[in-house]
Structure formats: structure tokens, C-alpha cells
Amino acid sequence: MLGARRPCKAPVMVCIFFVNGLEFLSDVESKSRERMEEEKRPVILAVDDEEDNLAVLHGRLTRRNYEVVTVNSGAKALASLKEVAPDIVLLDVMMPGMDGYETCHKIKEISTDQFLPIILLTAKVDKDSKIKGLDTGADDYVTKPFDMDELSARIRAMLRIRRLQQELAVKEREVKRLNTELKGQYNFENIIGASETMREVFEKMEGAARITSPVIITGDSGTGKELVARGIHYASPKAGKPFVPVNCAALPADLIESELFGHKKGSFTGAVSAQEGLFKSADGGTIFLDEIGEMPTAVQAKLLRVLQEGAIRPVGGTAEVKIDVRVIAATNIDLEDAVEDGRFREDLYYRISVLSLDLPSLSHRKPDIPVLANHFIKKFNKQFSANVKGLDDSAMQAILNYDWPGNVREFQNVIERCYVYADLEWVSEKHLSLHRAKKPGRGAERQDERHTATEEISEENFPTLEVAEKNLIEKAMLLADNNKVKAAKLLGIHRSRLYKKLELYGIGL
């Protein structure tokens, strides 16, 4: 008997296609999720060889707003599983032919709904039967004659757990999808380079992706240090785990330790609750310590311990917490100089430079310039639905002659800016407006820059305070060759404040 059927929809097959492959949501799982999303009544499949019991279950549970489908044997339960797509199964143990244990085992085996809960119903109350029931895969056990309130409460609890499990599975799929997307975005193919230097960089990246030792990436601002760090992470065995970027220069010195390692409640003024640090967030994956040269020496000592012991100690805590995090660090200062000056610990320097990778400035790898141009044109054509064909000879000459103080980041911005011209087909020199961004010379030219910063203002062109601030910051960055530490010094502000302003005005992004 297949009793009290609800109107049976044709089975719906839902497939989700992901970038790198096919994820398949089972027919049953998706049906049941659709139902939950629409707040429909949960469906119970009740299995019992005694029709009277089924009638009681059907009547009472229907009144409690469940949709109840009843069958009188284990074999029929298995046969109806796909069509009914229940949210929960109530299963009698003592049945002729296939008993409840065997049915339970087979349901778990054939069901494509991995979170389908099964409650066994039985008159047997001895401990061994309960253990046997749970061992065959049942999720709960209710003894007959059962109290309807208790059975209902257990059904509700099981459905709650099921909903949480389903939500978690959806989130896990989303994380997997995003990871696949990121992996695609940061695979080596999207790191462009045709020069001999970049060929060596790729070789080193491949090596670094094979192992999980610390890596130090050096290079001027905008040379691609973070891109390379992400590329290594997403090609490494840690790819499925988090990549957590941290800018050491942007974190205030008094907070950096707690940001990195977390803190206990009340460990300092303002620590109103305990907080996990960034190392913990990166557990299993990679932490990218950008501008590591700016890390205060006290924190450097703690970092060394983390690298040596594989454990962190939150601020205010006494116990160490084991973690498994790969460290990739980057810097645009000369760390060896910093070691000599006593600003950077020598032992830490050796520990983080197991593998080192240097990214030369763009003007030192000219063969990369035309290929980068093609790459960015393709990228922005797609992003802005445009059809720019490329750079004409004048533009190509200009980009090869320019010295690119802001490196690849500046180059990318220059190409992006060309797209403001309507119906642009070929980029020519005039579209690039390189003269505005040209790196100032070392002597008189630089003096001129300082001069114009203050003297060219009249009543007509008097800027707002905001515009003046933005201009001044841009000017400082230009004079400091995009070195943020130098620019902050020129402006007389702390570098963490400069970082906030750069972000606010979108400078150098």
C-alpha cells in the first residue's frame, strides 16, 4: 500500500554547472530543499506492517501539519523513496520479510538524500536492540507505544538538524565554487610575463607550490607580489583552504599582535570579547604578510616562534594553540639592509627566506610590456563590453619608452583609463596620457613638482580641502616613487593613516 499520496510532481532534476566541472544536486535533495524554501509541510514516510498503526500515525501527524505517506513493508519503502522524497522516515523494526534494521541499512545505502533522518519505532526497549538500530544508521529511536508529543518533538528536532546540515552543505558548495573561481583567477596563466626574468619567476613559483615552506617575495610597489603569492597558494596543496592577506604596515603597531594572533577577553583596554586572530582564520591555508619589513620587532619575535613551533599564543592567553599555516611574506624594502640596521631580526629573516622570489620593476622587463598590454586589453574589453583591437605603433613606442614607476599596477590603470574614449578602436599615444603620470626627475624637475603643489592655486581654481588632500597625497606618492613609507614621511603622517587615505581616494589601487 502506498497511502495518502500527495499530488506527485514529475521528478525535477536540478544540475548546477560550475566553472571547473559539474556539481550535481540529487533529485531528492533538491526537491526537498525546494519544499523547505517554500515553507511547505515536511513529508514523513511512515513504514509499518500493521495498517492500524499506519492509520494512527497518518491521522495524528497530518493534524500536526505534516504530509504523511504510508507504506506497509520495507520493500515498498525502498521502492517509493525516490517518488516520495521524504524529509524524514519513521520505520517500524519488527516487520515480516525485510525488517526495520535491514530497511534502514538499505535506505541509507540507496538514498541520494545524504541528510535523510530515520527514526526507528519499536516495542523492544533493550539496550542491544537500540545499539543495533543506531549502528545500522538510524538517527533516533522511539519505543512503542509512543507518546505522540514525544514523537513530534523528536521529529521536529531531526528536521532542525536536517535543515542545518542542508544549509551547511549549500555553504560548503558555495565555498568550493568560489575557490574554483579564485583558483582560475589566480592560476599561472593569468600572471603575464614573456621575459626571461618572468620565466624564472614562474619556475620558482612552481617549486614554491610543491612545498609549503615560507616564501619571501621582494619587489617594488605594483610589480605583482600579491598576485604571485595568490598564484603560489592556489597552485599548492593548500588551495582549498583560506588565503588571508595582511598588510603589516597598515595595522597600528599596538594592535598588530592581537590582530595576528587573537586575544582573550579583557587582555587589554578595549578587548571586550575574545577574538580569533588572522593566523587562526588562515588555519590550514596561507597567510600573506605584506610589507613584513614594517612589522614591529616585538611582533617579529612572536612570528619567529609561530614559524618554529607551529603554534600561536593569543594576547592575554597562557595556552598555545596549534595551527598549520604557510607564511608567504612580501616587502618592497631591502630586508638585508633592515637586518643590518637592526630593524629586522636576522633569525626571522633566515626563517622566512627559505624560498625567495624577486620581481623586478616593469622597466627592467620590457618584453613583458606588449604581452601585458594585450592581456589588459582583453580583460577590459570583456569587463566593459568593448572591442578595442590593440595599441597602434605610437602607443606601443610610448609604453616601451616610459619607465613605469608604479609598475604593472600603473600600466593596468593607464590601459583602463583609455576606455573612457567612446568607440575606441586602436589605442594611440594620445589616449595613454602618460605625461601626467611621468616619473619626475631627481633634481630640478622634482623641485618644480614641489613648487606647483603650492603656488599654482588662485581664486578661480581654488580646490576643496578634500581635492587638495587627494592631490597632495598623489603628489607625495609620485615624489616617493610609490613607496608608501616614504610618502607617509613626506606628508608627516603615520603610514597607517596614509593607507586609509589611499583607500579612501582610490589612489594606487
Contact code string over 124-163 relative to ligand ATP, x by CB under 6 A? ----------------------------------------
The distance of closest approach from Cβ of residue 249 to Mg ion in the complex, given in angstroms and rounded to an integer, is: 10
For ligand ATP, which stretch binds (CB under 6 A), given 90-98, 148-156, 166-174, 221-229?
221-229
355 burial via Cβ count (<10 Å: 0-12, 13-18, 19+): middle
In this complex, which beta carbon is closest to ligand ATP, that of residue 117 or of residue 193? Answer: 193
d(CA 12, CA 26): 9
Contacts for 31 with CB less than 8 Å, ≥ 6 apart: 9, 11, 12, 85
Question: If binding is defined by CB under 6 A, does position 219 make contact with ligand ATP?
Answer: yes
For ligand ATP, which stretch binds (CB under 6 A), given 60-68, 71-79, 216-224, 312-320?
216-224
> In terms of C-beta distances under 8 Å and separation of at least 24 residues, what long-range contacts does 111-116 make, across chains too?
111/28, 111/81, 112/26, 112/27, 112/28, 112/29, 113/26, 113/28, 113/29, 113/32, 113/85, 114/29, 114/169, 115/29, 115/162, 115/165, 115/166, 115/169, 116/28, 116/86, 116/87, 116/88, 116/89, 116/162
Exactly one of 225, 233, 439, 495 binds ligand ATP (CB under 6 A); that residue is 225
In this complex, which beta carbon is closest to ligand ATP, that of residue 219 or of residue 405? Answer: 219
For ligand ATP, which stretch binds (CB under 6 A), given 84-92, 405-413, 450-458, 462-470?
405-413
d(CA 254, CA 170): 39
In this complex, which beta carbon is closest to ligand ATP, that of residue 89 or of residue 473? Answer: 473
CB contact at 8 A, 241 and 285:
yes
Residue 222 near which of ligand ATP, Mg ion, none (CB within 5-8 Å, type-dependent) = ligand ATP
Question: If binding is defined by CB under 6 A, does position 332 make contact with ligand ATP?
Answer: yes
| E strand or H helix that includes residue 61 | helix 51-63
Q: Which amino acid is at 169?
A: A
What the block records as the C-alpha cell of 324 is: 598549520
Contact code string over 15-44 relative to ligand ATP, x by CB under 6 A? ------------------------------
In this complex, which beta carbon is closest to ligand ATP, that of residue 180 or of residue 223? Answer: 223
Question: If binding is defined by CB under 6 A, does position 226 make contact with ligand ATP?
Answer: yes
Residue 192 near which of Mg ion, ligand ATP, none (CB within 5-8 Å, type-dependent) = ligand ATP
Residue 248 near which of Mg ion, ligand ATP, none (CB within 5-8 Å, type-dependent) = none
The distance of closest approach from Cβ of residue 193 to ligand ATP in the complex, given in angstroms and rounded to an integer, is: 5
For ligand ATP, which stretch binds (CB under 6 A), given 66-74, 179-187, 224-232, 499-507?
224-232
Residue 223 near which of Mg ion, ligand ATP, none (CB within 5-8 Å, type-dependent) = ligand ATP
Judged by CB under 6 A, the number of residues near ligand ATP is: 17
Contacts for 410 with CB less than 8 Å, ≥ 6 apart: 222, 404, 437, 482
Q: Where are the beta strands (DSSP E) in 230-337?
A: 243-247, 286-290, 311-312, 321-322, 326-331
Question: If binding is defined by CB under 6 A, does position 224 make contact with ligand ATP?
Answer: yes
In this complex, which beta carbon is closest to Mg ion, that of residue 315 or of residue 329? Answer: 329
238 burial via Cβ count (<10 Å: 0-12, 13-18, 19+): buried
The distance of closest approach from Cβ of residue 224 to ligand ATP in the complex, given in angstroms and rounded to an integer, is: 3
Q: Which residues are paired to 311 by β-bridges? A: 322
d(CA 395, CA 7): 68
CB contact at 8 A, 408 and 198:
no
User: What's the full length of the chain, in residues?
Assistant: 509
Q: Which of residues 199-228 bind Mg ion (CB under 5 A)?
A: 226
What the block records as the C-alpha cell of 116 is: 535523510
What the block records as the C-alpha cell of 269 is: 583596554
Question: If binding is defined by CB under 6 A, does position 192 make contact with ligand ATP?
Answer: yes
Q: Which residues are paired to 330 by β-bridges? A: 217
Residue 224 near which of ligand ATP, Mg ion, none (CB within 5-8 Å, type-dependent) = ligand ATP
Question: If binding is defined by CB under 5 A, does position 410 make contact with Mg ion?
Answer: no
Which residues would be at the binding site for ligand ATP (CB under 6 A)? 191-193, 219, 221-227, 290, 332, 375, 408-409, 412
